[in-house]
Structure 1
Amino acid sequence: MLFPCTRGRKSSREKILDAAAELVGEIGAGRLTLEAVAEKAGLSKGGLLYNFPTKDALLQAMIQRMIDQVASEKEALREKAQPGPNLEARVVTKTLLNICCGGKMQDMATGMMAATAENPRLLDPVRQVIHTTLEQLKATSDDLDAALLAWLATEGLSSLEMHNLSPFSDEDRDRIVKAIERLVTKGIAE
């Protein structure tokens, strides 16, 4: 969770996370140093260590920040969503499709790959989110098969795009997104 500063300025924690995210996008998490983050954030190393005593603590906070951003996007979409079948699946797939492509999130995901390969436990919060999402889909979907297929397709497409591996043209992607939307709104014809 981010801690807002009462004067409208970014907190030290936010500055550190912003600087770290920028550096991870540029050089990857494997080459990230606490010294470089402190310098980029305009803080002393002691100031950084006060907030994040280790590199792993910083990486965990970066992952949690990404999770929080996705959750915020998901809740914003939920508030706007029309009632109907497979509401949770519609919100989850739309959220992933909105955030997966390009920009800082893509740079961060690519940059974090090395760190999570070296320390798979960094992904424990992500695993928990995935587990919770699956349980929510199972509990709320009108057509569970359609919801699960749409979610799986969205996760696959998002993963390819987040890591800049997608072989799909814009037309292919549009076709896939429309198929996902049909799945969660109309279900699977038997």
Structure 2
Amino acid sequence: MFACVRGRRSSREKILDAAAELVSEIGSGRLTLDAVAERAGLSKGGLLYNFPSKEALLQAMIQRLVDEVSLEKEALRRQLPPKRNLEARLCTSALLKMCGGGKMKEIATGMLAASSENPRLLEPVRSVVRETLEKLRSTSDDVDASIVAWLAVEGLRSMEMHDISPFSDQDRERIVGAINRLLDNGIAEQAPKDNKP
């Protein structure tokens, strides 16, 4: 669950927390504004003041997930020493840390289900994907290695989010190790093979 570290939580944070709890329990399809208001301990009018529609609430929940990954990335930036392909390392590390399961996974799965009915909800995610790709292209020491590492993590995350991953914890560690080696060593340029005998 998301928590505010300073002072009292605002009504907006209470609503988002309550909605996240409900999505993880019953899914986004059965989420109602009345249920969210009740869980947050607010009147429906108080909820509607912050989020005038269910769509606005779902958009805010998705934006909050995006912001959480961004905050994690910036926290890692302060911890990691400068290395090759730093932006790719930050991106992959933050995504791997945030997708480990629990409430975050349940909420993300619920939001994915909601977005299948309303693709506009994913606009903040589309924007982040475009920005991430552009940042990897403009800052990486090895652009191909950075993009392949990012795609590998997104694929692993997707499999885990949908509970279809065939990988054990040991397999996952090996995959993450391979991704880190790729970022360390890059993708070697392959000289075109001459077809002459």
- Work out the CA distance in 2 between the residues paired with 1:133 and 1:77: 16
Aligned to 1:34: 33
- Work out the CA distance in 1 between the residues paired with 2:106 and 2:70: 19
- CA root-mean-square deviation: 1.6
1:171 aligns to what SS in structure 2?
A: helix
Aligned to 2:95: 96
The within-5 A match list for 1:1-190 is: 8-190=7-189
- Work out the CA distance in 2 between the residues paired with 1:150 and 1:137: 11
Bigger RCO of structures 1 and 2 (CA < 8 A, at least 6 apart): 1
| CA apart distance, 1:165 | 2.1
- Work out the CA distance in 2 between the residues paired with 1:33 and 1:68: 24
- Work out the CA distance in 2 between the residues paired with 1:26 and 1:113: 15
Matched letter for residue 141 of structure 1: S
- TM-score under structure 1 normalisation? 0.94
CA deviations on 1:147-178 (whole Å, 9 max, x unpaired) are: 11100000100111123221111111111000
- Work out the CA distance in 1 between the residues paired with 2:78 and 2:148: 24
Over 4 Å off, 4+ runs = none
* Native 8 Å contact 1:33 1:55 kept in 2: yes
Aligned length: 187
Matched letter for residue 153 of structure 2: T
Tell me whether 34-43 or 160-169 shows the greater mean CA deviation: 160-169
Segments of 5+ residues of structure 2 without an aligned counterpart are 190-197
Give the number of the structure whose alpha-carbon radius of gyration is greater: 2
Segments of 5+ residues of structure 1 without an aligned counterpart are none
Identity across the alignment (%): 68
Matched letter for residue 92 of structure 2: T
After superposition, the Cα gap between the structure-2 partners of 1:55 and 1:171, relative to the gap in structure 1 and judged at 3 Å, is same
| CA apart distance, 1:5 | 10
